[in-house]
Chains A and B, each alone.
Chain A
């Protein structure tokens, strides 16, 4: 566990999301949380294994846990904002208990609700998401110190034997793109991408 948050570089959500996707070679599933997190996943380039949340704030990790339980052979990544995760901190303990080896959580932490006007979260000045994750029973939790460290942690996660969580400090920039708000098509294409469906 590395919880040295204050020494970490402030990075950018879109850049990190692009770096993550560049590392994925095996049709890994990626769940993008509400708002900017899935907007940047969309902007980084649609993949059939991407799922974009258009609501249900805080459920990126639970949804990803469900995918990970259903398809234990597939690696699953979940991208979530710090404000969103604060709504479902209990889900970290659920994940720690079930301990799916194929699940990696990425927390994009800017300390603000960027999309609603950049108000600070209640945790901004006091909470450490990675320390909370570790104390929730997820010892493979670490802050990424910079972009190269983030890529290293992603590579480690790709062969991890337990769930992993990567915290990244990010800037206050909005998402680069805007996901097309078509929930049925998003869900159907995701299921096609996971091999659950066949095209009509």
Chain B
């Protein structure tokens, strides 16, 4: 069993010539930090990451019916000694206030969440833009650590440091993947 508080040593990742994709960097950083169980509720923006995770047997990657369910699963896994992370989109995060306030935070569980940000920078669905506005106020009202990642050159640093901080301080973190990083979802009809 892996010790929940053990720190994986950072490795240099030299993938020379080819520019690295954002999802490739996320996958490698998860692996380097021994984050293995990845339940998700899918999002088109996350497709590349989800495919990469499924293709890599290091990870146990699977869909759940609701984001809250995924939070329960990684919470149980962490208590059992295995780290996990949840993937979701903005509207999925909006379903989580209760589980954050009644499980992750009071039980001091290092819940690691990746949220692909919809609702801004070219949103075409008014409901998505409205629900997006609830995300940061909810995170702030619970005094939760969160970062909005906009730049590829900052991605690895933010993800790596945030995972380590979540584990060592036993506190959840939300990593918001901005359309500036991922390209987002655009109106195409």
Q: Could you list which residues of chain A lie within 8 angstroms of chain B, going by C-beta atoms?
A: 29, 31, 51, 53-59, 61-71, 74, 88-91, 93-94, 97-98, 183-184, 186-187, 190-191, 194-197
Contact = CB atoms under 8 A, between A and B. Distances in A.
Contact of B76 (A31, A58, A186, A195): A31
Interface string B86-104: 0000000000001101110
B8 interface: no
B68 A94 contact: no
A196 B69 contact: no
Residue among A55, A56, A197 with most chain B CB within 10 A: A56
Residue among B1, B82, B98, B107 with most chain A CB within 10 A: B107
B105 to A, nearest CB: 9
Interface residues of B, number: 36
17 contacts: A55-B102, A59-B68, A59-B69, A63-B76, A66-B84, A67-B79, A69-B73, A70-B79, A71-B80, A90-B64, A90-B69, A91-B65, A183-B108, A184-B106, A186-B107, A191-B79, A197-B4
A70 B109 CA distance: 15
A158 B126 CA distance: 51
Given A69-B37, A94-B64, A88 B79 contact: no
Residue among B39, B69, B71, B84 with most chain A CB within 10 A: B69
B98 A62 contact: no
B111 to A, nearest CB: 11
Interface in B48-70: 60, 62-66, 68-70
A94 B80 CA distance: 19
Interface string B1-13: 1011000000000
Contacts of B98: 55-57
B62 A70 contact: no
A51 B79 contact: yes
B75 interface: yes
A144 B124 CA distance: 52
B3 A196 contact: yes
A67 B76 contact: yes
A18 to B, nearest CB: 24
A59 B99 CA distance: 9
A71 to B, nearest CB: 5
Given A69-B82, A90-B64, A196-B3, 13 more contacts: A55-B106, A57-B98, A58-B68, A63-B79, A65-B73, A91-B66, A94-B62, A183-B107, A184-B107, A184-B108, A187-B107, A194-B79, A197-B4
A91 B103 contact: no
Contacts of B106: 54-55, 183-184
Contacts of A74: 80
B177 to A, nearest CB: 24
A196 B64 contact: no
Contacts of A71: 1, 80-81
Nearest to A185: B107
B72 interface: yes
B60 A69 contact: yes
